[in-house]
Amino acid sequence: MARYLDVHPLDPQPRRIRQAADIVRAGGLIAYPTDSCFALGTQLGNAEGKSRIVDIRRLDEKHHFTLVCRDFAQLGQLVQLDNRVFRAVKNHTPGCYTFILPATSEVPRRLLHPKKKTVGVRIIDHPVARLLLEELGEPLLSSTLLLPDDEDPLTEGWAIKERLDHQVDAVIDSGECGLEPTTVIDFSDGVPEVMRVGAGDPAPFS
């Protein structure tokens, strides 16, 4: 059964954040709130955690996983950014955007798009998720918590625990979060291409 962690949305209890981080460090898979919607998250190098996300969401090999980062310095270690792309990404983080970019050697090969060698990155703007990332000291390998037969992501922690009680190790519930996933911008060729319109305004990249 999944551990249920009830966390204050604006002033998260450090003890419960540490408990969630310990579960991730021990190889666990968690459901956690973001500034767009709930996500599944596991440790960056956790191959089994990645496989569990693939199974839950029924993803194919072309799916771009997202590395959720604490800050821009952390993001910059994972992807390649020329000056123009750097400014564009910097101006829209933190926020509800995922950016597809060429990965650096810091990213395990199994996390990359098989042909493009790219990965998704984002900097999150949610008090609970930010504190979790600070506690972990490293990015979270993540994917939107959108189940295969659902049209919309799950938005309530209790419902996530009910649906995924035997498929995740913990659910962090800080109340309802957004319904829309992030807007996805593909910068892999140096020119922005809007791949998915979500919670972030796509206009600056159109």
In whole angstroms, give the CA distance from residue 156 to residue 172: 10
* The model scores a pTM over 0.75: yes
Burial 68-95 (b: 16+ CB within 10 A, else e): bbbeeebbbebbebeeebeebbeebbbb
Question: Residue ranges per domain, the chain?
Answer: 3-205
CATH C-level class of 3-205: alpha beta
The answer to whether residues 55 and 158 touch, using CB atoms and an 8 Å cutoff, is no
- The Cβ-side half-sphere exposure at 17, using a 13 Å CA radius, reads 20
| pLDDT tens across the length of the chain (206 residues) | 999 999 998 899 999 999 999 999 999 999 999 998 999 999 999 999 999 999 999 998 888 889 999 999 999 999 999 999 999 999 999 999 999 999 999 998 888 887 889 999 999 999 999 999 999 999 999 999 999 988 888 888 999 999 999 999 999 999 878 788 999 999 998 899 999 999 999 999 98
